[in-house]
Amino acid sequence: MSAHDGLDNDCIFCKIIRCEIPSFKIFEDDSVFSFMDINPVAPGHSLVIPKFHTPNIFEAPDIWAAATVNGIQRLARAVKETLNPDGINILQANGPGAAQSVFHLHMHVVPRWADDDVKMNWGISPGDMDAIGKLAKQISKNVN
């Protein structure tokens, strides 16, 4: 894996990797680049992106998906050490239906506090166990 192989000329995140657009960098290595989100949900909201342009998790080569997850673990540990939040959400969106706004694989670290009023959690309500079981079997047939 090389830092600037496979980057897209028009992608805002690829431009951040190439330092063509300024960012508040947290860390980078040969595989990933981490920086602060400039539209934060909470203080410490930050991202990790692979140094390879891939639009989403579906199209990401395994090596780049793994590197991104390793980077998010490093970032989450640093955010936890720095801010000592009550919890952390790790978020990753794919496609417009999931509100993906930049089509370059990226993962968010969002520090959370018990009464922060951030609206991204959902309530717990039991589902239909038969329907869940049937869907699990259908999904398992498509695992590669």
CB 120 within 8 A of CB 91: yes
Q: Which one is catalytic: 53, 104, 106, 108?
A: 106
For residues 57 and 60, what is the distance between their CA atoms, to the nearest angstrom? Answer: 5
For residues 76 and 84, what is the distance between their CA atoms, to the nearest angstrom? Answer: 11
CB 14 within 8 A of CB 77: no
53 noted as active-site residue: no
CB 77 within 8 A of CB 114: no
> Could you give the residue numbers annotated as active site?
106
